[in-house]
Amino acid sequence: MRFSNCRGRPEFRHFALVNNSVRNEMRKIGYARVSTPTQNWDRQIGALRAERCDKIFREKASGKDIKNRPQLEKAIDELGKGDVLVLAEWDRATRSMLDGVHIIERIHARGALLKVLDKPHLDLTTPIGRGFIAFLSALAEDERQRIVKRANDGRRAAKARGARFGRKPKLNAHQQEEACRRLLAGESARAVARSYAVHHATVSRLRTARI
């Protein structure tokens, strides 16, 4: 018997189903970190392998430097929709609640999930974990707002004490007064600016401010 279309054959239909299931299968991306070159990550790697991670990123970097974690960045970039970032230990990936929530938000934005092996409640693959993360995010937002409020209150208090913000003036008060007198006497802004080694626009703004 001849077949004009191989898709009609049972064995080909079975292959197509298996192929699609493999392509859509969730991947687990592991991450491990130690703080110093003398430490080893055997325990973490063992836990990630037991979790059957498809790929594991590892690095040796100080936990105090939350910006210099290239392998963590690569692990997050590796995530596709439906994938799971598996952390062997939560405090190896983050050092503060705000930093941790930021990582979670980045993972969520990629349509991926998070699982922390030493913190069962930080498991976004379970309803309880997702609820806890929502609560944690609310706490982090409250912390962000309190930080902004403290910064604004500090600026207002400093202004009340006479503090000035922004760049330091190129000319001090005495030089500004002297430059204005020279401008009024007929000197050009460029000539005055050359004597103070500043741009002529700096001197021109003094004249504009006095008008």
- Is the per-residue pLDDT at 45 higher than 70? yes
Catalytic one of 4, 21, 35, 62: 35
Chain mean position to CA 173: 42
Q: Which two tokens stand for residue 109?
A: 């934005």
Q: Tell whether domain 8-141 is in CATH 3.40.50.2000.
A: no
Residue 80's contacts (CB-CB under 8 Å, 6 or more residues apart) are 27, 110, 111, 112
Known catalytic residue at 35? yes
Rounded to whole angstroms, how far apart are CA atoms 4 and 8? 9
- Is the per-residue pLDDT at 100 higher than 60? yes
Sign of CA dihedral 56, 61, 62, 65: negative
The predicted model gives 109-130 an average pLDDT of 82
Task: List pLDDT tens digits, range 75-93.
Answer: 999 999 999 999 998 888 8
Average pLDDT over the chain, rounded to an integer = 78
- The domain locations on the chain are 8-141, 173-210
Q: Return the SS3 of 177.
A: helix
The pLDDT score that the predictor gives to residue 169 is 77
The pLDDT score that the predictor gives to residue 24 is 53
In angstroms, the Cα distances linking 135 to 91, 98, 106 are: 19, 13, 17
The predicted model gives 133-142 an average pLDDT of 70
- Is the per-residue pLDDT at 9 higher than 80? no
* Percent of the chain at pLDDT exceeding 70: 79
* Percent of the chain at pLDDT exceeding 90: 20
The pLDDT score that the predictor gives to residue 17 is 38
Band of residue 23 on the pLDDT scale cut at 50, 70, 90: very low
The pLDDT score that the predictor gives to residue 73 is 92
